[in-house]
Amino acid sequence: MNPLGKSHGEAFGLEFDALEPANSGALGMPIMRRARNLALVAVAFACLQTAPPHPSAPRPCHPEASCGGHSGFKDGLRTEHSFTMSRKTIVIVEGRKMKHPKMIRAVAILIVAAFTILCSEIALRIANAYFPQPFFYSKHLYRFRAKPFQNLYGFTTNSHGFNDIEHDKEKSPNNYRILSIGDSFAFGVVPYEFNYNTILRRLLKESGYSAEVINMGIPGAAPRNYYAILETEGGALQPDLVIVSFFVGNDFEAVDPGRSWQSYSFVVSLLKYLADVAGKTNFTPWNVGEVYDDSKKSFTDEDYDILEMRRSWVFKKDNPLYQKMYDMTVNDIKLIYELCKKVNSKLVIAIIPDELQINLALRKRALSLAHSSQDEYDFEQPNRMLAGSLKELGITYIDLLPALRRESRSEAVYKPNDSHWNLKGNAVAAHELSAFLRENSVILGR
């Protein structure tokens, strides 16, 4: 207890931990704790400078007076600024009464909070520069890219961070090289050996074709990113054929996502991400554990229905926003096509349907959440429009909707509460692509 009957700085309406002297290991104290204490000391000094002296406050001891090594006392009051700095407490008292103690406490809290947020913002930005995360805003493609040699269900990504084996940059003369570009569908959310790109490679080999399939899928990528992948890395591999997997579910909306207000702060972006995923998903990062469960739900029932309800806008009739996004998407595909011609590669677009186009029960729940009727939507509209545009451009394409819809009548082709294919869906896609390429022998150079 200090001479004023207050402890731990309560004489100023403030409570805070001690500042340790330099010779007792002050550097060991957590940075945030030290910063908070310094801020409170600064507030206390401000109080001393602005608060008027109390009428009963005695004058300070003379410097030469004997005060027992401390400031003088008179009638139980300390008469000058006195600071005891130890491991346990720091006392700042003055023979003055402080005005508005609650306001001072609030100001101190605001100072500490602002300093903490600032330091956190700086730390997150530095960390993201070295380890990019998809929930922080960036126009850089590689924030979604897997790390080299990352463990994904027992398979290790290659040195470029792709979910594939290593491939030589130089192509062998008798080898037909296929480059597969896409988002998380191409990258794969199932083990490597069950990914449709891996199965396609095996099926072509079993059919007598000397072909290799190079998987360059990146989760979260969009058509503009597909172009960037081909331009920066894919073209140098001299592919004979480029397969672009186009997902109807989000490859339109990913064209121009805009920038939300919270994206300007990394702290707010992180908090929003944690709030969005907390309790809503059972998804486990691919590098955690090596056991794949094809029956495990990725999202809760409610949140997956909401996700698909939000995606339903691409199927809505007479939708100006969809038309705008569609035109931008087709323009991106044109750019990819022109680039393929420059690197002497053929192009095939594989149109991947959203589960809303196949799962009628899911569709019913999503439309119910949107308070809409079936008559307001055309669930084959994107595929039909895209097929027409590709024909006009002279681009070869395959629409996987009919095959997946047919196979889904006997067995699910999507993971539970997940818009990605399960093991069955990947197998169906691989067999359809293999048959399509073999039937179009010109594509395989035969």
Distances (CA, A) of 263 to 141, 257, 306: 16, 12, 22
pLDDT band at 423 (very low <50, low <70, confident <90, very high): very high
In tens, the pLDDT along 183-195 reads 999 999 999 999 9
Is 0.85 surpassed by the pTM of this model? Answer: no
Rounded Cα distance, 189 and 419, in Å: 11
User: pLDDT per residue over 35-90, tens digit each?
Assistant: 556 555 555 555 555 445 555 545 544 444 444 444 444 444 444 444 444 444 44
Residue 428 contacts residue 404 (beta carbons within 8 Å): yes
Please compute Rg for the chain using Cα positions.
Answer: 32
Helix or strand holding residue 316 (H, E): none
Output the pLDDT for position 121: 83
Q: Which domains does the chain have, with CATH numbers?
A: 10-130 (no CATH), 141-439 (3.40.50.1110)
Let me know: does 105 contact 13? Beta carbons within 8 Å.
Answer: yes
In angstroms, rounded to a whole number, what is the distance separating the alpha carbons of residues 397 and 382?
14
| Long-range contact pairs involving 20-24 (C-beta distance under 8 Å, separation at least 24) | 20/85, 20/86, 20/87, 21/85, 21/86, 24/87
H/E element, 112:
helix 101-130
Q: Are 132 and 161 in contact (CB under 8 A)?
A: no
Predicted confidence at residue 20, as pLDDT, reads 42
**How far is 347 from 437, CA to CA, in rounded Å?**
12
Q: What is the pLDDT of residue 308?
A: 95
Q: Report the distance separating Cα 260 and Cα 250, nearest Å.
A: 18
* Type and span of the H or E element at 352: strand 346-352
Integer Cα distance of 248 and 256 in angstroms: 15
Residues 89 and 433: their CA atoms lie apart, in Å, by 73
Mean pLDDT of 265-269: 80
Higher pLDDT, 3 or 340: 340
Q: Which pLDDT tens digit goes with each residue over 231-252?
A: 999 999 999 999 999 999 999 8
Look at residue 411 and tell me whether its pLDDT is greater than 90.
Answer: yes
Q: How far apart are CA 436 and CA 397, in angstroms?
A: 10
Backbone angles phi, psi at 77, to 5 degrees: -115, 140
Instruction: Please name every residue paired with 67 in a beta bridge, in sequence order, or none if there are none.
Output: none
pLDDT tens digit sequence for 337-387: 999 999 999 999 999 999 999 999 999 999 999 999 999 999 999 999 999
Q: The tokens of 336 are what?
A: 């990819």
Amino acid at 240: D
Q: What percent of the chain has pLDDT over 70?
A: 67
Residue 276 has φ and ψ, to the nearest 5°, of -70, -35
- pLDDT-derived band at 138 (thresholds 50, 70, 90) equals low
| Among 30, 90, 84, 79, CA closest to 54 | 79
Q: What is the mean pLDDT of the chain?
A: 79
Give the burial class of 393: count Cβ atoms within 10 A of its Cβ; 0-12 exposed, 13-18 middle, 19 or more buried: middle
Pairing state between β 346-352 and 396-399:
parallel
Distance CA 153, CA 84 (A): 58
Question: Contact, 102 vs 13, CB < 8 A?
Answer: yes
How long a stretch of residues is the chain? Answer: 446
Minimum mean pLDDT among 13-17, 102-106, 207-211, 425-429: which range? Answer: 13-17
Q: Which amino acid is at 115?
A: F
Q: Do the strands 151-152 and 155-156 form a parallel or antiparallel pair, or are they unpaired?
A: antiparallel
Distances (CA, A) of 196 to 215, 227, 229: 10, 21, 20
Residue 393: phi and psi, rounded to 5, are -80, -10
> How far apart, in Å, are the Cα atoms of 48 and each of 3, 67, 86, 180, 298?
17, 22, 21, 70, 58
Residue 431: strand, helix, or coil: helix
Backbone angles phi, psi at 162, to 5 degrees: -95, 150
Contact 126, 118 (CB under 8 A): no
